[in-house]
Structure 1
Amino acid sequence: MTPPVSGVAEAHPAEDEPHGPHGHGQDGLVKLAIGAVGIVFGDIGTSPLYAFRETFANEHHVLPLDTPHIMGAISLMFWSMMAVVTLKYVTIIMRADNKGEGGSLALLALISGRAGQKRWTAGIVLLGVFATALFYGDSMITPAVSVLSAVEGLAVAAPSFSGLVVPIAVVILVMLFSIQSTGTARVGLFFGPIMLLYFLTIGTLGVLSIVHEPGILWSLDPRHAIEFFALNPLPAFLALGSIVLAVTGAEALYADMGHFGRNPIRVSWLFFVLPALILNYMGQGALLMREGSAALESPFYMLAPDSFQFPLVILATMAAVIASQAVISGAFSVTQQAIQLGFIPRLRIEHTSASTAGQIYIPLINWALMIMVIVLVLSFKSSSNLTAAYGIAVTGAMLIDNCLLAVVLFTLWKWKKRYAIPLLAVFFLVDGAYFAANMTKVPDGGWFPLLVGFIIFTLLTTWSKGRKLMIERLRESAMPIRIFIESAANAATRVPGTAVFMTSTADGVPHALLHNLKHNKVLHERVILLTVKIKDVPYVSDADRMKIEDLGKGFHRMILGYGFMQEADVPAALKQVNACGAEFKMMETSFFLARQTLLPSSRPGMMIWREKLFAWMLRNAESAMEFFRLPTNRVVELGSQVEI
């Protein structure tokens, strides 16, 4: 029974009510649940392609292919899904939403906003950022291992095709990344039915195999998991690195919560996906108990009759593409959140749907992922080799989620220690064991997600730190706005029209304004000092969008607030303004931007190499003109130099 929690209503407003924040009543629950099957569960749904096989066929650990070990492996997979997916993510973590949104960054923003500035918050922020960095490693490995393992079924159905597995996988992946710019709205309509058919198929194949070996049902007894370790402790521990593949994709349940809501994901998992997965794993176990090593090449495909293996390859490949699509879309969403929260430079974001704000396409991320995925396929050549690299990113992110969950339980929800500590101990024990087992695979490919994670972590933290230093340096040299208005307003020539000066700080005089006055020696009749602020919430309503302060003599300070899931459209916001004179007309409005050139210096702040890295990122960031949707023919850029 879940212990009583104080403050939970504030942390997750109303999604369990009949009409939650997404505006869906009970009638829409089934449709949302089907949609969740198509998008959310693609990653964990394709795990049966390789997870059980790798537990016994992996050269990294050698396990006897006998009844006790087969029963023990299935028992571990089932109870891992119950502890990690059902209890941790579906039951507990999904209650910690940030205005309906989930994921490591949303949870991090929620914690930062509620906990304030405390000694331990800096460490929590770094952990959350590293979890995000590991996610990018996962985004590279998931398409590679999913598509490759599905296409490998060709070698089972038709051995003559074995030499074409890698080329076919590469062609599928290139096509997948090439269609991203067109949007996934139409393709998404087919995701749910295809994945429903896939889960029904793998569940049915499992049942047909269980009928011949009904004793496999006793594998759900947790004593078999204990016996699994008692028989061969060290190989059993190393095998955890493969068994954990059965729960890869669990974090997607939380990350995709904002798209479907909490209840539809719970219903899909508990009543459809979980039963189908465990039936298939038991079916594979029953097959190995009957046929032994003869079926070990691919127990997933050998569950099917010979005549059905080729259609199963096609269905599994479609499921793998869907799983890959979900991860790619997730990478776009996470990148957008990271940009808004100040961890990544501005990048070009294209909206692929006029009606759905969350459907976006980021060209740089798309092509970078495609290159890395193809490099992985060509380098590792088989899904068995890739699984060595797969588990570390997932288990690392799950371990970090435990740390974030601990903060939520103690700080936000005020759980009593007698409830929270035993629960957290179970989670840390399970995820810690899986992570430790995967760390033994570092020499065999596990180094890849760690390397990617550390590189991206360095980029994220360098941009965040450099941005803060740059704002501080600009603030140090900024003139108080009141003094500027008194001295310049009457001395300078005033010209018709409106000038909007974009500034990152909501105090002081923008550098662009000083440069404009210095070089052009004029001031517009109406001067707007505009700052765009991204809040620690996913969405900000139009009513709370702007704050306007009249500074006198035609000067106005305006602050526009956006959530980290929203796009900052400055012209659209200005059209709603009616509090500082006449309405804004774009053909009579000029936008002035300051483009900073960074000069690395010996001043305390960051090491020189990080300063140069930050300067490079700043040069390659998308311009504020495109990011804030400013009209291209109404923008003036003025340069300045800043030492950090």
Structure 2
Amino acid sequence: MGRSASAASDDNHVGQSGPHRPAVWGLALAALGIVYGDIGTSPLYTLKTVFDPGNGLPLNAYNVIGIVSLIFWSLTIVVSLKYVALIMRANNHGEGGIMALLSLAASSVATRPRLRHALLAAGVMGAALFYGDGVITPAISVLSAVEGLEVATPALKPYVIPVTLLALIVLFAMQKRGTAGIGAVFGPIMVIWFVILAGAGLVNILDAPRILAALDPFAGLAFCLHHRWLAFVALGAVVLSLTGAEALYADMGHFGKRPIRLTWFGLVFPALAVNYLGQGALLLADPSALDNPFYRLFPQWTLYPMVVLSTIATVIASQAVISGTYSMTKQAMQLSFLPRMNVVYTSEKEIGQIYVPGINWMLLAAVVAAVIGFGSSTALGSAYGIAVTGTMLITTLLTFFVVRYAWHYNWFLCVFATGFFFIIDATFFSANLLKIADGGWFPLVIGLILFTIMSTWGRGWEMMRHEAQVRAGTTPLKPFLKSLLASSLVRVSGTAIFMSPDPNGVPHALLNNLDHNHVLHQRVLFLTVTTCEVPWVPASERVAVQALGQNCYQVTVTYGFKDEVNLPRALEACKPYGLVFEPRATSYFMSRATVVPTPGSKRMALWREKLFAVMLHNVGNVAAYLKLPANRVIELGARVEI
């Protein structure tokens, strides 16, 4: 079972016999409020989008049964079999999500650099598409909920967009306060939501029981064989019923596999299946309900309470995706795929509750633009599918390499197991490519922008570190230090910590300091910070210390990509080695690089080098990222050609 988020908040507890986990039912209730908000609100817009007149699919009994069958069996195959049964097994030390899967897949082919590079590129593209999902999910979810107002009374239609924008602005403005206060009520609200979904669906099934024919998989297959092209187009909307499937995998580390599987099969899947069957039954009995089949499931007197409940449910769904975007941003920063940004920890107990201001306001701007630009949940449905299916496709691809090269399963079994799902994902993705002109371009543009930023930063950072290591490597640390200590150099009181990219080379900051100040501190640490391709590093493995003689030490601090970076706290683990640091007598020396793009370089295009230089120049404060005291940091400049 994966490690809980709270367990990671205190390094002193890591690596013990295991943190205390709440009872499985408590975790299951919490998972309902975090994991299933997105997929749980899909019934608001899926069938409405499928039968949108623009798709050209006539509304008749045969088509309704065929579409509902496709939705039911898509949930069964993609979510139940692919994610819950297979992909949740591909965990990185208990953690899930595309960044965790990417690091696992990349490490499994570490001896094949070209293949590893290709997998990194694919994984970064999947992560970039997730940002597109993070923009569209709040927009389509909240908008589809508020559209219930115009079902209650057409006179309220002009207020749908303003109310949606107000709800979204309030949601994003509250992010800086964290989710601890409202998180406790998410689970119970989603229980009520799913029970109502199932109840409303069941009532309508009883009015038109012939919809149960949709449970036959051959009904969906016959629909596809009969319509062919129209069925292929319809798949682009059917996939909306699967939005949020990635959350089951991404949040595995917070709740564990068992609670997620328990809630899926015990409540969520049955409620969704019954509700989709109920909407299909309603359309069989009353085709005029197509204007909004979800809200038409309910009596007129319940519409306003349902709009309120639906809006709350979609806010919960949006919150889960927004929080997931923050989490992935932090992981990408620690894996060197994004520049360092300010990360605010909004809870003293839950390390997973973070807030990234820069990402928050960029997301809000994009969400507002999506709501105003598309204007309806149906129009946004055309944009939604590409982001979802693209991420799903890449997840399946990465899973193959984990199963084959990390688990060493038989090649034929690996191809059969993942190839089956790959074909399904590729079909859904291809169907959504038809919607590029109708809005599919929107998440693709977001994805391409983020992919360019992430790949450029990753490549540029790798090149810059290589150049720094080469420069440091030209002067090996131990011989240099031996010669330096044998000289009559003045040593002053206090501790100097020199940040070094290469533990075996002389850090540039030391050379600059010697050149300018001609002194060496009484105690000197050469400190290297590394990030492993695992989510958590135990406290017992956090710090490695090597004595170099005459009160000089080589220290390596290792983090996982989900660990909180706090260098002063990590250095407290040096006490067993006799190293105790007095904050007022400790100075941190760092090199601040100025990148100089090199025309004609074959390693990266000049425009990408310039983009990297701009990002590096505007990067967040490295000292703040490492949690270093601002008044104890000394930065020395260095020019790096890439």
Do both proteins adopt the same fold according to a TM-score greater than 0.5, normalized to the shorter chain? Answer: yes
**CA-to-partner distance for each residue in 1:576-628, whole Å, 9 max, x for gaps?**
31355552111111111111111111343211111111111111211221011
Q: Does 1:39 align with 2:34?
A: yes
Match of 2:157 among 152, 157, 162: 162
Gap regions ≥5 residues in structure 2 = 5-15
Tell me which residue corresponds to 1:9.
none
- Alpha-carbon distance in 2 for matches of 1:416, 1:390: 36
Secondary structure of the residue aligned to 1:102 is: coil
Q: Does 1:484 align with 2:480?
A: yes
Secondary structure of the residue aligned to 2:575 is: coil
Does the Cα contact within 8 Å between 1:538 and 1:566 map onto a contact in 2?
yes
Tell me which residue corresponds to 1:432.
426
Q: Does 1:254 align with 2:252?
A: no
The verdict on how the C-alpha distance between 1:413 and 1:58 changes in structure 2, with shifts beyond 3 A counting, is farther
Written as runs of structure 1 = structure 2, the 5 A alignment for 1:464-503 is 464-478=458-472, 479-489=475-485, 490-503=487-500
The verdict on how the C-alpha distance between 1:319 and 1:58 changes in structure 2, with shifts beyond 3 A counting, is farther
Does the Cα contact within 8 Å between 2:133 and 2:388 map onto a contact in 1?
yes
Written as runs of structure 1 = structure 2, the 5 A alignment for 1:427-576 is 427-478=421-472, 479-489=475-485, 490-576=487-573
Secondary structure of the residue aligned to 1:253 is: helix
- Alpha-carbon distance in 2 for matches of 1:434, 1:268: 26
Tell me which residue corresponds to 1:225.
220
Q: AA paired with 1:416? A: N
Does the Cα contact within 8 Å between 1:202 and 1:280 map onto a contact in 2?
yes
Tell me which residue corresponds to 2:117.
122
- Alpha-carbon distance in 1 for matches of 2:111, 2:313: 44
Does the Cα contact within 8 Å between 1:68 and 1:227 map onto a contact in 2?
no
Tell me which residue corresponds to 1:28.
23
Percent of paired sites with the same residue: 46
Secondary structure of the residue aligned to 1:445 is: helix
Tell me which residue corresponds to 1:106.
100
Q: Does 1:138 align with 2:136?
A: no
- Alpha-carbon distance in 2 for matches of 1:153, 1:533: 51
TM-score under structure 1 length normalisation? 0.95
Does the Cα contact within 8 Å between 1:494 and 1:523 map onto a contact in 2?
yes
- Alpha-carbon distance in 1 for matches of 2:53, 2:407: 43
- Alpha-carbon distance in 1 for matches of 2:254, 2:429: 29
Does the Cα contact within 8 Å between 1:548 and 1:579 map onto a contact in 2?
no
Greater CA drift, 403-412 or 513-522: 403-412
- Alpha-carbon distance in 2 for matches of 1:228, 1:22: 51
Q: Does 1:394 align with 2:388?
A: yes
- Alpha-carbon distance in 1 for matches of 2:225, 2:451: 39
- Alpha-carbon distance in 2 for matches of 1:619, 1:545: 30
Does the Cα contact within 8 Å between 1:21 and 1:100 map onto a contact in 2?
no
Secondary structure of the residue aligned to 1:240 is: helix
Gap regions ≥5 residues in structure 1 = 1-11
Does the Cα contact within 8 Å between 1:577 and 1:584 map onto a contact in 2?
no
- Alpha-carbon distance in 1 for matches of 2:529, 2:420: 43
Does the Cα contact within 8 Å between 2:72 and 2:273 map onto a contact in 1?
yes
**CA-to-partner distance for each residue in 1:437-483, whole Å, 9 max, x for gaps?**
10000001101111111111111111111111111112222221123
Tell me which residue corresponds to 2:144.
149
Does the Cα contact within 8 Å between 2:543 and 2:573 map onto a contact in 1?
no
Match of 2:417 among 417, 423, 426: 423
Q: How far is the alpha carbon of 1:425 from its aligned partner?
A: 2.9
Q: AA paired with 1:455? A: I
The verdict on how the C-alpha distance between 1:210 and 1:370 changes in structure 2, with shifts beyond 3 A counting, is same
Tell me which residue corresponds to 1:308.
302
Does the Cα contact within 8 Å between 1:500 and 1:591 map onto a contact in 2?
yes
Match of 1:289 among 264, 284, 289: 284
TM-score under structure 2 length normalisation? 0.95
Greater CA drift, 462-471 or 599-608: 599-608
Tell me which residue corresponds to 1:3.
none
Does the Cα contact within 8 Å between 1:352 and 1:359 map onto a contact in 2?
yes
Secondary structure of the residue aligned to 2:294 is: helix
Does the Cα contact within 8 Å between 1:114 and 1:412 map onto a contact in 2?
yes
Q: How far is the alpha carbon of 1:66 from its aligned partner?
A: 1.2
The verdict on how the C-alpha distance between 1:260 and 1:62 changes in structure 2, with shifts beyond 3 A counting, is same
Does the Cα contact within 8 Å between 1:140 and 1:372 map onto a contact in 2?
yes
Secondary structure of the residue aligned to 1:376 is: helix
Greater CA drift, 239-248 or 631-640: 631-640
- Alpha-carbon distance in 1 for matches of 2:128, 2:470: 32
Secondary structure of the residue aligned to 1:638 is: strand
Tell me which residue corresponds to 2:626.
628
Does the Cα contact within 8 Å between 1:71 and 1:224 map onto a contact in 2?
yes
Q: AA paired with 2:483? A: S
**CA-to-partner distance for each residue in 1:113-167, whole Å, 9 max, x for gaps?**
3332314222111111110000001100000000001000000012111000001
Q: Does 1:374 align with 2:371?
A: no
Does the Cα contact within 8 Å between 1:151 and 1:313 map onto a contact in 2?
yes
Does the Cα contact within 8 Å between 2:46 and 2:240 map onto a contact in 1?
yes
- Alpha-carbon distance in 1 for matches of 2:51, 2:2: 46
Does the Cα contact within 8 Å between 1:58 and 1:384 map onto a contact in 2?
no
Q: AA paired with 1:243? A: V
**CA-to-partner distance for each residue in 1:311-343, whole Å, 9 max, x for gaps?**
111111100000000000000000010011111
- Alpha-carbon distance in 1 for matches of 2:20, 2:489: 57
The verdict on how the C-alpha distance between 1:396 and 1:21 changes in structure 2, with shifts beyond 3 A counting, is farther
Secondary structure of the residue aligned to 2:497 is: strand
Tell me which residue corresponds to 2:204.
209
- Alpha-carbon distance in 2 for matches of 1:208, 1:627: 55
Q: How far is the alpha carbon of 1:29 from its aligned partner?
A: 1.2
Tell me which residue corresponds to 2:11.
none
**CA-to-partner distance for each residue in 1:529-584, whole Å, 9 max, x for gaps?**
10111111111111111111112233211000111111121111222313555521
Tell me which residue corresponds to 2:332.
338
Tell me which residue corresponds to 1:53.
48
